[in-house]
Amino acid sequence: MTNSSIAYETGIPVVLDTDVLVIGGGPAGIAAALASARAGAQTALVERYGFLGGNATAGLVGPFMTSYSDDGKTQLVKGVFDELVRRMEAFGGAVHPEKVRTGSPYSGFFSKGHDHVTPFDPEAVKLASAEMMEEAGVRTFMHTFFVDAIVEDGRVNGAVLVNKSGLQAVRAKVTVDCSADADVASRAGAELETGRKSDGLTQPMTMFFRVAGVDDAEILKYVEEHPEERDLLFGSLIEEKRAAGEWKVNKNHLGIYRTTQAGVWRVNTSRVQGLSGTSAEDLAQAELEGRRQVFELLAFFRKYFPGFRNAVLVDTATQIGVRETRRIVGEYMLTADDLISGRSFDDVIALYGYPIDIHSPNEVTTEFSKEYHTANVYQLPYRILVPRKTEGLLVAGRCVSATHEALGAIRVMPCAFALGQAAGAAAALAAAEGTEPRGVNVKELQRTLLAQDVVLPEGVA
């Protein structure tokens, strides 16, 4: 088959002129849209599914990793994230992280990096986030795909979308790319990087799934009797069965997390390496391989793992969980050294404390990177949200400007909420002031974030 192309030209109706347009309704997009609307901007949000949440819903990824400092003493991510969690908790859909300590079944029994995680029900995220959008007056475009950036004179002025109603255009004073894959930035011609510096390889994908019929007490008893396995659950058994050819997944321990429902656990154990999360063909291949692994794993669990004898599959994720794809090259690129040293930034817009967690692109081990010991609390600067050369655009979530190593720490969902809230508030300010995002008054942005219950260093703004 030869490569060819067609010329296609049509008029696209502009269905909305707005202040701020957010592309992607995952954790970053939820926070960005709400922060923008609450800062006074007319705001629209585009989401490809019929529900919000991204990896938290369609990806079945959970629990939310820690929102606290590394020592577990201080909650660092509040704002929209904390409001969403407390709303879900009020109707039984989540457990607030203040009640969840390291080493618990909710945290997968891990001792490192899992203090104060947040168990939640994906269905609760769908409802709570939709209600919050409705209350804030955000215009939502659901079942809607981003097609292209509207770029005029080197500036992003909105986006072309497609849904059941056909092609549509939305014009915006500021666009926020919360696609996770820098889709808007890519289409706008922004400078990008992918994967690690040495070879461009990205962290593997994982097909999350949930199982029911698990004997909770039996698992708890096993862990109590084998405390040495808390950070590598069933690791010795897995290595034994790998040598025998029975364990085929390229991971050296079992990742399981108790949910808010008795006998139901999330499983973060499948692993798909060497495929791209920005290729439709690769994603389809990854999801097929991921679902094959799910059934192989479940059969193994029933045969060998305490508590799983009568386990049954509840569901697999709608989409495979993608840890890393494209990242923008921004006004500043966050590095591992910044996280290790706890470097201070004048333009700090969020605090975080999760360790550098790099799942190997091509090896078995999946431990926290021992060569990197991050500060108890580190700072995230506004400049990592701002593409170096593209105007009219901000980026939030795991596609911000960071090295492969730094991304290993800030790619998780609570941090995405924090980055999204900063981007949304900044977009609202830029729209109101008629300035480019890179020209936003940082002190005013910090004051806006503090008013929205964001945690920043003492003395800021």
User: pLDDT tens for residues 250-261?
Assistant: 888 899 999 999
CA distance 452 to 75: 15
Over the stretch 165-191, which tens digit does the pLDDT of each residue have?
A: 999 999 999 999 999 999 999 999 999
Global pTM? 0.97
> Residue 210 burial by CB count (10 A; 0-12/13-18/19+): exposed, middle or buried?
buried
**What are the CA-CA distances from residue 461 to residues 79, 140, 329 (Å)?**
17, 32, 27
Q: Is CATH 3.10.150.10 correct for 14-100+117-199+324-360+371-451?
A: no
The DSSP H or E segment spanning 207 is: none
Residues of the chain with confidence (pLDDT) below 50: none
List the beta strands (DSSP E) in 34-133.
43-46
Residue identified by tokens 């593997």 is 204
Residue 281's CB: how many other CB atoms inside 10 A? Answer: 9
Axis-axis angle for helices 413-433, 442-451 (nearest 10): 120
Domain extents for the chain? 14-100+117-199+324-360+371-451, 209-316
Q: What is the pLDDT of residue 231?
A: 85
| pLDDT for residue 125 | 98
